[in-house]
Structure formats: structure tokens, C-alpha cells
Amino acid sequence: MLFSKIRVLRSHGKQYIPDLDAVELTSEFRGRPVLTDTRDHADLERAAALCPTGAIATAPFTLDLGRCIFCGECARRAPANIRFTNDYRIGSPTREGLIMRPGQERVEFDPAAVRPEIRSCFGKALQLRQVSAGGDASVEMELGATGNVNFDFGRFGVGFTASPRHADGVVVSGPVTANMAEALDICYEAVAEPKIVVACGTDACSGGLLAGSRALDRSFFERRKVDLWLPGAPTHPMIFIDGIRTLLGQKKRE
Amino acid sequence: MNWLTTENTGSCAALNDIPEVGYAEFYDDLARRLADARYHVAHYFALPSGDRLRFFCLLLDDREGKVLLASHALAYYEETALHPALTALHPALHPFERDIAERYGVRFDNMPWPKPLRFPFDRCDRAGTMDNYPFYTMKGGSLHEVNVGPIHAGVIEPGAFRFICNGEQVLHLEIALGYQHRGVEHLFGTTDNRLRQACLSETVAGDSAVAHATAFAEAIEKLTQCERHAQLERERTVALELERMAMQIADTGALCMDVGYQLGQVACEALRTMTINTTQAWCGNRFGKGLVRPHGTDHPLTPEKARMIRDNVREIARRYDEVRRDIKSSPTLLARFEQCGIVPRDEMLRIGGVGQAARASGVARDIRVSHPWASFAKCLHHESIVKSQGDVMARLTVRCREVLQSAGHIDRLLELYEQKYASGPSPCPAPDYTAALAPSSLSFGLIEGWRGETCHVIITDAEGRIAAARIKDPSLHNWLALALAVRGEGISDFPICNKSFNLSYCGHDL
């Protein structure tokens, strides 16, 4: 019995990532896209027409990460215009900040757009209540993974808590279904002020693939101020960790 | 009664070729067949067709490996026609009849459980909402109710559980779902963009993205009737078995967590990370989104990737086997897992359980064996892992052994790849989003995902556009198994019973 545990421990070894800020994801990962404008928009028009979520606009040329599900199909149709990098630093304090333009080298994170009380109150510890409102379980599993043995986000005092009464904010995943809208609102109300809202995943940011479905009720996002927008289908744990740490002022994006 | 007989590797069926019979005949024949365990219903749904409602049934014959199709119809406004409920004889049909009743207002006579299923946006009775779900109640001074949800303690999807308890003991659990209803099925018919439809299939249940995308691609490819490269089938199977490994490992870890066994939990967390990172290094997404597309792939294997996957999978299987042996030799874990949450075989058969949960209760349902498709019909020989106890431990054991089995399948498939294409990339073509679909046809994709049988049915209109999609996640059947598993158990055993099934909320709610 004891030997079997020692065997597991020996194979397990050390798993945690020592420096989360130095993480580089595999080159296959599709993160921040780089856009290049060209005189001929024929390929781009085809890519925009194929885009499953209508994230690409051609005049002027932009790509809305809040709608993008990172399927990568546009980069194959219009390789001269769109290229995905493995940069996971794609969170933004504003919804407009997710709209990428040609020549842009990073997703801007303007510290001035962050409410000052967020850094003063939560800079050293942040407990969050996660609410899935139509999430397809992939975003939820990635959020769960942020606290696992590899990423161990808890080392920075950030974690998930069961009761909204113990929480400093709400992380919403999913496009917000009509059947879940009231429960989400009740949960938000139960969190004490000051509190933050994080929209996690492309579904939460814009409805994603489900945008326009009659089964949704996205009025929550009209009534509440979102402090952090995190795209991704699903959001990789590093997108979440980087976004939260940048929001809290623990790291800068440059 | 006359059924249209087809196979999982066959082509689509013209709507006109599907026999249409009277309800009495349908009822008698289906009721008689379902009394034999060799048959079970893969899907049964209704669709408006002109001024009628046409009901389609896909019946699986596990012994012969056939898929049987039949239909019956009802004039849309024929209020007087009360159909006797098949659920009264075969509870396995309850989610299908409840769905039909909820969407279209069809009244089934003598329905033993006339409850809403998922409160879809296009439901017939708008007065029914999530807030007034008619929970079953019991009276008695010694009883109390415990409500959990819709928001749960952990970072998971929403659903409401209502327990009726006598002290610590659970007498009854009712699970009310629908919070996750996004109207996915409806969206398939609102677009002609095949890429968008493929992406939608991946989001039916994000933890089964490969399974649902494969079922969708299967259904589409039956409609276009194009030849498919055997290597493409093998690569999809590798992806599917990688997904199975990742999720069975995740659930092993979750079970360890819920009994406070941290070593098992963290070891499995690390192994799951390694598995999904392997998928990510192949296709750029940890859940395999973007990997399976109709007619081709954007991520054909290369010798380097095949080698990487083979090496990783071997290492994961080796380390996971150590965890498995450790769990088996820890009396404190066995004391929690054994004899807990039992679903006996006859009960599992009655409610129509599928997948690994059914196999843990001695019901050997496995599409990979009974209705093999693609690689399972060709180069892979699969034998189901079946346990008879039906408790948490049996479900865990099935998971454990499936991880090792999947690792073997992946190794075999990649070995084949290396033998054939060692010097160059895989010959898989790029996806095709424009191939024309056969008009006025019914097509299905039927595969065994990690949770169990996953079925996508696609109906095309006269112009060859997708008129409707009907999707079945295995969770649709198995949620009732969870409710039965906790009967008579202490309520504190609910978490491990729940984790031992790990069912999908969004896959059920659609």
C-alpha cells in the first residue's frame, strides 16, 4: 500500500510551473492574431464570409476577439492578412479593446480603464464566484485548471469560492441563457461591494457561436459593468491568469 | 411492422423511404421489441412537416449491428388524438416523449412522469418556467428536503437537485435541468455555413467536443456520399480516444478529491494536463476543438506529431496505471467507493442507460462493438470493458481500464500511420464545407464518446439544406441513473455518486 503511493509520488515529481509569467505555449496554440492590410481584399472577403461568428470586418479591416472562437480558418483562407500567434495575453478591461486592427502588436491593457478600488482592495487577494450560464463545460474546466497542481494560481491569492458572500466578484462563463439569467443576477447581488465582474470566454463576451439565439438573455451585460473581458473558446488557463494579474496590477502588458 | 434497416457505415435515407405506420402499430411493435435487451432506442423525436407532425424513431439492434428507422405522423392540430405513452411500459423512452410533449404539446396518455425536460425557448407551454418546476414531494414529519443549485459549490455547470431525505438517508432525488438551454439544435437550421455548423457541434458539450464533432461529421459525410480516406478515420479515432483518456483521468482525479485523497487527485490532474496538452500540441486546442471537420482535417498528422503523441500516451498510461494500482490497494478509498451508489443491471436496462455507466452495471452497450464505424469497423478490434457491480467502484474501474485500452488503440493507430507514411505527412485532405447534401433525407452520426453513445440526426429539405438537427448526448439517458444511484445512500455520498457519472448539463439541455 505504501509502496504504491511512493511509486505514484516518484513518477509525479514536481509539476508546478515555477514562473507563470515566463510561460510560453506551444506554437500550435491560437492566441492573439496579427492583422496585415493588403490592397487586394479578395482572400479576406472569403475569410470574413466563412467566419462562423462574423468576427471579421473588411472595411475597415478588424477582427473582434470578443467574437472570435479561434478556429483558425480565416488564417488559412487569407494567410497574407491574418496570422495567429501563441500570445495568450489577450484580456482587456474594455470590450472595445478586444477589437484588433492591422499593425497592432498587442492587445492593449490601459491601466486607466481599471477602477482604482480594484487594485487597492484586491491587489493582494481575490476570491471569485464562478457562474456558468450556458457555458459548454470547457471554459469551466479551464477555470478549474487554473488552481490545479500545474498552474497553482492560488499562490497569488486568487481562487474560487463557493459562496457569493465570501466572494469579491463574479466570473461569468457562457452566453447567459434565459433560463439562467435570474440566478446569475441573484448571485451578483449577493456579492458585497466593491466587486468585479469578469466575462470569461468568447461565449460570455459576445454570445459567440450562440449569439442571436432566442434562448439567450444577455441583459446582464447591459446592466452590469464588466471589469475584464477574456476571449477564448475556451479561455486557456494562462489567458485567465494573465488577465487577472494584469487587472490587479501584478504585471504590466508591454 | 416494416422498418428501414441500415447500418452505421451505410448512407443516408431518403425521407420517402422511411416507412410511415399508424401509431397503434408503431406502439405495439416498439413495445414488443424493447422487451428484448438487444434493442434500444438511439433517438425518437418529432418534426413539423407541413400541417403534420412526423415522428422519427432510430432503433438500434445490438445483436445484428443494424439501425432501424421508422416513423409515424399526427395531424398538427388533432387535439383529440391521445397517444398511449410508451414510457409507461419502457421508462427508457421518458426523455424522448417528454421532449416531444414539451416542444409540441403532444399529450401522451397515461404518461407516468409528465414533467418538463429542459424548458426550451420554443416550448409549447410558455407558462412553465424554470422557477415553477413541479418537483415531486413527500409528506411526513421525519422528512426534509434539501435543494442544491442551480449554482453549485464548484466551478461547474448549473442544474437543480432536490433531495428528499429521512435524516441523512436520501429517499428520492429529482434533477431539474434546462438552465443550460442555448437553442443549439435550432441554430443548425439557421445557417448554410458548414464551418459554423461544425463549430456548433463542438460546443454541444465542450468536454465531448471531439465526440460531437465526429458524430456531426459522420452525419454530413453520409449525406454527401463522398469517399473518405482511411487515414482520416484513423486520425479522428486517435482524437476521440485521447478525449476519452483525458476525461476518464479527470474523473478519476475528481473522485479522489471528493474522498479527500490528495495524492490521487493531483497525480490525475497532472496526467490530464499532459493528455490535453498533447491534444493542444497536435491541433492548438486543449479540448480538440477544430480537429474534426467534415471530409478532411486542418491538422493532419506529421511524423513528428505522431511520435510526440505516441510517446506521451505511453508515459501517461504508465503513470496512470500506477495511480490505478494505488487506488485499488488503498482500503480507505475502497471503503468509500465499494457498495456505494449501486444501479443494478435490470434497473439500468429499464431506464436505458448507455456508455461507461451502463457497462459498469453489466449492460454491455458500446457502439464501438455493436455498431462499429470508421476505424472500429476496420483496423481496430475493440472489446468492451464490463463490470457487474454497478457501484461507484465499478464505474471507476471501467474508467481506469478504458484509459489503458484507449492508450493501446492510439498506439496501434499511430503505428499504422508510421508504417504507411513514415516519410511524409498524412494524406488527409483539407475540410470541405461546400459539398452538396442529399435533399429530403435523414442522416445520422452514431458514435461512442467517452460518456457513451452520441447521436446526431440531420434532416435535409428539398434543396439539400439542413432543415433540422436533433442531437442526443448520452447524458440524456444517464441523469436518471444518477437519481436512482443515490436512493438509500447517505446524502454525503452524493458527490462521489455524481462524479462517478460526471454527466453533461449542456449536452442534456442543448
DSSP annotation of A73:
H
Q: What is the CATH number of the domain that holds B444?
A: 1.10.645.10
Q: How confident is the model at residue B164 (pLDDT cuts 50, 70, 90)?
A: very high
Note the ipTM here: 0.93
* A209/B196 Cβ within 8 A: yes
* A134/B180 Cβ within 8 A: yes
DSSP one-letter string for B461-476: -TTS-EEEEEEE-THH
Point out the domain boundary residue: B68, B95, B117: B117
Q: B186: which chain A residues are within 8 Å (Cβ-Cβ)? A: 213-215
Reference B187, options B179, B178, B196; nearest CA is B196
- Distance CA(B132)–CA(B336), nearest Å, equals 36
What is the SS3 string spanning B411-426? HHHHHHHHHHHCCCCC
Question: Is the distance from CB of A234 to CB of A207 less than 8 angstroms?
Answer: no
Query: Choosing among B121, B182, B271, B299, which should be mutated to test the A contact, i.e. which has the most A CBs within 10 A?
Result: B182
pLDDT attached to residue B337? 94
Mean pLDDT of chain B: 92
- Distance CA(B500)–CA(B98), nearest Å, equals 26
Q: How far is A63 from chain B (nearest CA, A)?
A: 17
Q: B506: which chain A residues are within 8 Å (Cβ-Cβ)? A: 134-137
pLDDT attached to residue B109? 86
Co-location of B203 and B111 in the same domain:
no
**Quick one: average pLDDT of A77-93?**
94
pLDDT attached to residue A140? 95
Query: Choosing among A56, A136, A149, which should be mutated to test the B contact, i.e. which has the most B CBs within 10 A?
Result: A136
* B329/A1 Cβ within 8 A: yes
- Chain A touched by B156 (CB under 8 Å): yes
Q: pLDDT per residue over B46-83, tens digit each?
A: 999 888 889 999 999 999 999 999 999 887 666 656 78
Co-location of B289 and B375 in the same domain:
yes
* B506/A133 Cβ within 8 A: no
**Quick one: average pLDDT of B404-426?**
89
Q: How far is CA A30 from the centre of its chain?
A: 13
How many C-beta atoms lie closer than 10 Å to residue A19's C-beta?
6
Find cell 442555448 and name the residue.
B182
Q: B15-45: buried (b, 16+ CB within 10 Å) or exposed (e) per residue?
A: beebeebeeeebbebbeebbeeeebbbbbbb
pLDDT attached to residue B32? 94
**How crowded is the C-beta side of A197, counted as CA atoms within 13 Å?**
20
Asked if the structure places residue B323 within a domain, the reply is yes
Q: B189: which chain A residues are within 8 Å (Cβ-Cβ)? A: none
Query: What's the predicted TM-score (pTM) here?
Result: 0.94
Asked if the structure places residue B422 within a domain, the reply is yes
Asked if the structure places residue B200 within a domain, the reply is yes
* A178/B250 Cβ within 8 A: no
Asked if the structure places residue B125 within a domain, the reply is no
pLDDT attached to residue B77? 64
Q: pLDDT per residue over A120-166, tens digit each?
A: 999 899 999 999 999 999 999 999 999 998 999 999 999 999 999 99
Stronger pLDDT, B110 or B181, i.e. the higher one: B181
Point out the domain boundary residue: B70, B93, B117: B117
Q: How confident is the model at residue B305 (pLDDT cuts 50, 70, 90)?
A: very high
- Distance CA(B82)–CA(B8), nearest Å, equals 34
Q: How far is B448 from chain A (nearest CA, A)?
A: 19
- Distance CA(B479)–CA(B476), nearest Å, equals 6
pLDDT attached to residue A253? 85
Q: How far is B439 from chain A (nearest CA, A)?
A: 23
pLDDT attached to residue B80? 57
Co-location of B310 and B447 in the same domain:
yes
- Distance CA(A144)–CA(B272), nearest Å, equals 12
Q: Is the pLDDT of residue B279 over 80?
A: yes
Residues found in chain A: 254
- Distance CA(B190)–CA(B317), nearest Å, equals 43
Residues found in chain B: 510
From first CA to last CA, the distance across chain B in angstroms is 33
- Distance CA(B472)–CA(B42), nearest Å, equals 8
Q: A52: which chain B residues are within 8 Å (Cβ-Cβ)? A: 193, 195-196, 199-200
Q: B180: which chain A residues are within 8 Å (Cβ-Cβ)? A: 132, 134-135, 174, 177, 179-180
Co-location of B112 and B197 in the same domain:
no
**Which helix (H) or strand (E) covers residue A50, if one does?**
helix A42-50
Co-location of B318 and B428 in the same domain:
yes
Co-location of B198 and B65 in the same domain:
no
Q: How far is B2 from chain A (nearest CA, A)?
A: 38
Q: How confident is the model at residue B226 (pLDDT cuts 50, 70, 90)?
A: confident
And the C-alpha cell for B224?
A: 454527401
Query: How is chain A split among helix, strand and coil, in percent rounded to 5?
Result: 35, 15, 50
Q: What is the CATH number of the domain that holds B33?
A: 3.30.460.80
* A178/B330 Cβ within 8 A: no
- Collapsing DSSP states into helix, strand and coil, what is residue A92? strand
Asked if the structure places residue B368 within a domain, the reply is yes
Co-location of B104 and B212 in the same domain:
no
**Quick one: average pLDDT of A202-221?**
95
Co-location of B108 and B228 in the same domain:
no
And the C-alpha cell for B490?
A: 447517505
User: Identity (one letter) of the amino acid at B98?
Assistant: R
Domain count along chain B: 2
- Distance CA(B474)–CA(A223), nearest Å, equals 37
- Chain A touched by B504 (CB under 8 Å): yes
Q: pLDDT per residue over A168-188, tens digit each?
A: 999 999 999 999 999 999 999
Asked if the structure places residue B106 within a domain, the reply is yes
* B326/A180 Cβ within 8 A: no
**Which helix (H) or strand (E) covers residue B209, if one does?**
helix B209-224
Q: pLDDT per residue over B24-34, tens digit each?
A: 899 999 999 99
Asked if the structure places residue B85 within a domain, the reply is yes
Co-location of B9 and B113 in the same domain:
yes
Find cell 455520498 and name the residue.
B493
CA torsion, ordered B301, B303, B306, B308, to nearest 10 deg: -130
Question: Is the distance from CB of B209 to CB of B289 less than 8 angstroms?
Answer: yes
Asked if the structure places residue B419 within a domain, the reply is yes
**Counting one residue from A and one from B, how many pairs have CB atoms under 8 Å apart?**
206
- Collapsing DSSP states into helix, strand and coil, what is residue A15? coil
* B207/A137 Cβ within 8 A: yes
Co-location of B233 and B112 in the same domain:
no
Mean pLDDT of chain A: 93
Co-location of B332 and B457 in the same domain:
yes
Q: B266: which chain A residues are within 8 Å (Cβ-Cβ)? A: 12, 15, 148-149
Domain of residue B70, residue span: 4-117
Co-location of B107 and B213 in the same domain:
no
**Quick one: average pLDDT of A98-123?**
92
pLDDT attached to residue B10? 84
Find cell 453489466 and name the residue.
B362
